[in-house]
């Protein structure tokens, strides 16, 4: 099967036989898992005992062979098997006097290179990009451009759109994609870098949600650490916070009262949470949706609640005039006037730290951050997520949580655990607040791109230093490891570091130098809610999914997932050209 290899164990030793066990290299402090019993050789027939097993090829494995009687370890082998490879492990005695045992691994049939489809897909998309760039260059030639315009007569659709999902009236919109106002008094212009950043996050999110070609690094990390799939959700939360700063200031400058804005915040949060619970709910796969198995947390639910807290917090302290602050430290004008917000965020983070490390959890060590299951040498199998998992099970109930956590893949945990649970929502609020800070920077230093970029660099560096301290630059050994399931504070600071740097690059290319229009990510970024909900609702329908000829092929899965993701980009482009934007 996909991500597996065949291992044939040949035992030339006499009785009593061998036990073969394995441990994944990505499983920290895990118990060995029994794979097979290898019978002893038949000395009269001179026939070795054999056993065949399927072994995982996604991560390096440590194989352990020991005697079935006495539990004496005979040999230990570390090896990274290749997909669809055929291997033999020959166990024999080198010296009968010293009873020295050798374990030799032999490749019978070489594995395939399962990463070639990624290279091929990359070349195809680069070819398409080259064709588009060539076409753009040709359009700069007057005769060619005039001929094309004459044939097609396109309508200009780059009107300035002033709401998150396309409302033409800025004062009537506050949402995930709010419109930054122009930094000149003569016109209004949207910051394309924000939509591009949001669209990039959304496109990656759609791709990994569709399966990511079934590659392990396009799936969520089993516990500590990061994969590509772990990057996108916090980036989306971050840019939501950035948009909140720009939208609220814009609406207040255009005369909306704070009570009117608050009503819009409450309504939008309510709709997002409702959509997450009723429309986008993974527990549908368990049967008809009912309260008995309704998953209460979720992506949209967390976005809605995070949006409510951060937008209300900003509304309480924002000013309609974002001019220069006349305080003692003008270089900190985006921070000091909002000191009550920072106190509120610090209190929230203190609550997270206290609950995480001080809350007593039955039958679990205090401050436990592990995956449970076979992790930590199997000492705490039912402690998945520590306090975070305990609070969700206590307040929500096990049936109302996510039933297939990523920790079950490697760590074989059996407890339900929700990565969008209650405790982690605190740190998603912190993540959005850091994005809010990026939005304030763009407001307070308008018409000063160097100031904006330098502050993005400073914030990114500070977040990176905090992450390095919290994690000790280690995946497993830090004070607070990077963990998407827990939404640990080190995960937030690391993702914020990446977000500030990525936003800096996109802002420089798109809005400062205008070397890049933001396409194609700009289009889904301007219809983010439609694309997110649409890709979830229609995930199992053609043309986004079809029956494969070989379901054990990374190439076929990658092709299907890339086509489905590309279709959503095309759909968002068509909607953009027709000026159709769905807002909440």
Which residues are catalytically annotated?
220
- What SS3 class is residue 99? coil
- What SS3 class is residue 93? strand
In our burial notation (b when 16+ CB lie closer than 10 A, e otherwise), range 269-283 reads beebbebbbeebbeb
- What SS3 string covers 459-504? HHHHHHHHHHHHHCCCCCCCCCCCECCCCCHHHHHHHHHHHHHHHH
Chain centroid to CA 125: how far? 22
Q: Report DSSP letters for 337-387, one per residue.
A: GGHHHHHHHHHHHHHHHHHHHHS--TTS-TT--S--TTGGGGT-TT-TTTH
Q: What residues contact residue 519 under an 8 Å CB cut-off, 6+ apart?
A: none
Residue 77: CA count within 13 A, CB half-sphere:
21
Which burial class, exposed, middle or buried, applies to 182 when counting CB atoms under 10 A from its CB (0-12, 13-18, 19+)? middle
Would you state the structure tokens that stand for residue 6, as one six-digit string? 């065949």
Distance CA 197, CA 240 (A): 10
- Peptide linkage before 152 cis (omega within 30 of 0): no
Distance CA 537, CA 546 (A): 15
* Residue 225 region by backbone torsions, left for phi larger than 0, else alpha for psi between -120 and 50, else beta: left
Distance CA 226, CA 484 (A): 8
- Positive or negative, the Cα torsion across 275, 277, 283, 288? negative
Q: Which residue, among 161, 173, 193, has the nearest Cα to 439 in the 3D structure? A: 193
Let me know how long the chain is: 584
Q: Which residue, among 172, 180, 170, 179, has the nearest Cα to 267 in the 3D structure? A: 172
Distance CA 515, CA 191 (A): 14
- Peptide linkage before 543 cis (omega within 30 of 0): yes
Beta pairing, strands 86-95 & 4-11: parallel
Distance CA 51, CA 416 (A): 35
Q: What residues contact residue 393 under an 8 Å CB cut-off, 6+ apart?
A: 401, 415, 416
Would you state the structure tokens that stand for residue 91, as one six-digit string? 């166990």
Distance CA 217, CA 225 (A): 11
Would you state the structure tokens that stand for residue 381, as one six-digit string? 């199998």
Distance CA 478, CA 349 (A): 18
């Amino acid at each position: 099967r996909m991500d597996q290899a065949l291992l044939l164990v040949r035992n030339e030793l006499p009785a009593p036989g061998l036990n073969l066990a394995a441990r994944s290299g990505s499983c920290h402090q895990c118990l060995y898992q029994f794979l097979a019993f290898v019978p002893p050789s038949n000395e009269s027939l001179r026939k070795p005992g054999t056993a065949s097993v399927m072994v995982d090829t996604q991560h390096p494995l440590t194989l352990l062979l020991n005697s079935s009687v006495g539990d004496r370890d005979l040999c230990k082998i570390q090896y990274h098997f290749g997909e669809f490879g055929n291997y033999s492990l020959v166990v024999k005695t080198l010296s009968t006097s010293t009873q020295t045992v050798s374990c030799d691994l032999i490749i019978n049939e070489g594995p395939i290179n399962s990463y070639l489809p990624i290279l091929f897909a990359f070349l195809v998309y680069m070819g398409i990009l080259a064709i588009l760039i060539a076409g753009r260059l040709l359009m700069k030639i007057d005769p060619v451009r005039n001929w094309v315009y004459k044939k097609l007569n396109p309508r200009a659709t780059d009107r300035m759109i002033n709401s998150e999902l396309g409302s033409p009236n800025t004062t009537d919109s506050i949402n995930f994609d709010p419109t930054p106002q122009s930094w000149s008094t003569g016109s209004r212009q949207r910051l394309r870098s924000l939509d591009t950043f949001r669209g990039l996050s959304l496109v990656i999110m759609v791709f990994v949600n569709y399966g990511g070609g079934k590659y392990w690094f396009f799936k969520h990390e089993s516990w500590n650490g990061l994969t590509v799939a772990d990057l996108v959700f916090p980036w989306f939360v971050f840019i939501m916070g950035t948009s909140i700063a720009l939208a609220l200031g814009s609406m207040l400058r255009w005369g909306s009262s704070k009570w009117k804005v608050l009503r819009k915040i409450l309504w939008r949060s309510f709709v997002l949470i409702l959509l997450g619970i009723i429309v986008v709910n993974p527990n549908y796969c368990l049967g008809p949706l009912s309260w008995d198995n309704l998953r209460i947390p979720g992506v949209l639910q967390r976005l809605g609640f995070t949006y409510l807290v951060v937008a209300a917090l900003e509304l309480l302290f924002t000013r309609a005039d974002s001019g220069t602050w006349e305080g003692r430290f003008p270089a900190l004008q985006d921070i000091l006037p909002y000191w009550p917000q920072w106190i509120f965020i610090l209190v929230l983070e203190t609550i997270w730290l206290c609950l995480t490390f001080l809350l007593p959890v039955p039958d679990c060590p205090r401050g436990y951050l592990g995956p449970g299951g076979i992790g930590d040498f199997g000492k705490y199998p039912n402690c998945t997520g520590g306090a975070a998992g305990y609070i969700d099970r206590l307040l929500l109930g096990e049936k109302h949580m996510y039933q297939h956590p990523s920790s079950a893949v490697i760590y074989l945990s059996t407890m339900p655990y929700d990565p969008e649970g209650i405790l982690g929502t605190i740190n998603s609020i912190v993540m959005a607040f850091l994005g809010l800070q990026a939005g304030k920077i763009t407001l307070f230093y308008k018409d000063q791109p160097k100031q904006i970029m330098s502050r993005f660099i400073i914030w990114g560096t500070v977040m990176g230093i905090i992450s390095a301290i919290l994690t000790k630059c280690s995946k497993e050994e830090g004070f607070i490891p990077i963990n998407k399931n827990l939404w640990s504070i080190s995960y937030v600071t690391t993702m914020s570091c990446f977000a500030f740097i990525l936003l800096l690059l996109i802002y420089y290319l798109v809005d400062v130098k205008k070397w890049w229009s933001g396409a194609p990510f700009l289009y889904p970024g301007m219809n983010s809610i439609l694309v997110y909900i649409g890709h979830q609702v229609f995930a199992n329908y053609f043309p986004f999914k079809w029956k494969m000829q070989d379901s054990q092929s990374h190439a076929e899965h990658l092709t299907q997932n890339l086509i489905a993701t590309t279709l959503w980009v095309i759909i968002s482009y068509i909607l953009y050209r027709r000026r159709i934007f769905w807002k909440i």
